[in-house]
Amino acid sequence: MLKSSGIWCKATGRRISIASVYRSLAQLVRIGLVEIRHFDASMGRYELTAKPSHGHLLDVSTGDVVEFNDAELNAMEDKIAARLGYRILRRSVELRAVKLAERPAVTSACASADSPSSKTL
């Protein structure tokens, strides 16, 4: 997964403009070879569409994106879909997280009870 600025940096010294990178990426998205993923409002990230199914974990502290594949999670999703009478055609898993050592401190019992992460799904 790459940011457009990362592609441009790799091409530095080859007399290529950032506008050329964006135009090329737009064409690759248009013909279906590359997908753009928007994890936040600031910027998209690009990846090949032919990659096997995988999830994304977004480190909200750094903006890093970690790709993962978990057979147990896939099996659980298949089981849920089958129980509801469906077959999964495409998966999309996006997790937003902070490293365990960087967990934000909870200031009150009310704050932890109302936080989205404390709710059971």
CATH number at residue 61: 3.30.1490.190
- Whole-number Å distance between alpha carbons of 94 and 88: 16
- Looking at the structure, tell me whether residues 11 and 32 fall in a common domain: yes
Domain holding 11: CATH number?
1.10.10.10
- Looking at the structure, tell me whether residues 22 and 66 fall in a common domain: no
- Residue 4, number of CB atoms within 10 A of its CB: 18
What are the tokens at 51? 């990659």
Q: Is the pTM of this model over 0.75?
A: no
- Tell me, yes or no, whether 110 lies in a domain: no
- Looking at the structure, tell me whether residues 61 and 41 fall in a common domain: no
Structure confidence by residue, pLDDT tens digits, 60-85: 888 888 889 899 999 999 999 999 99
Distance of CA 75 to the CA centre of its chain: 20
- Looking at the structure, tell me whether residues 35 and 68 fall in a common domain: no
Q: Is the pLDDT of residue 107 over 60?
A: no
- Tell me, yes or no, whether 109 lies in a domain: no
- Tell me, yes or no, whether 17 lies in a domain: yes
| Residue 27 belongs to domain spanning | 1-50
Structure confidence by residue, pLDDT tens digits, 28-64: 888 888 887 776 666 677 777 767 778 889 888 888 8
- Looking at the structure, tell me whether residues 2 and 44 fall in a common domain: yes
